[in-house]
Amino acid sequence: MAKTATGNKKGKEAFAVLMQWREYGVPEFITSYEAYHLTGGLVGKPASIQSMKLIEVAVKYTNKGGSVKDYLAMKAGN
Give the pLDDT score at 73. Answer: 86
3-state secondary structure of 50: coil
3-state helix, strand, coil in the chain (%, to 5): 60, 10, 35
Low-confidence ranges of the chain (pLDDT < 70): 1-7, 78
Q: How far apart are CA 8 and CA 30, in angstroms?
A: 26
Q: Write the pLDDT tens digit of every residue in 21-33.
A: 999 999 999 999 9
Of the candidates 77, 33, 78, 75, the residue with the CA atom closest to the CA atom of residue 17: 75
pTM, rounded to two decimals:
0.82
Task: For the chain, give every domain's residue range.
Answer: 28-78
Q: How far apart are CA 33 and CA 6, in angstroms?
A: 29
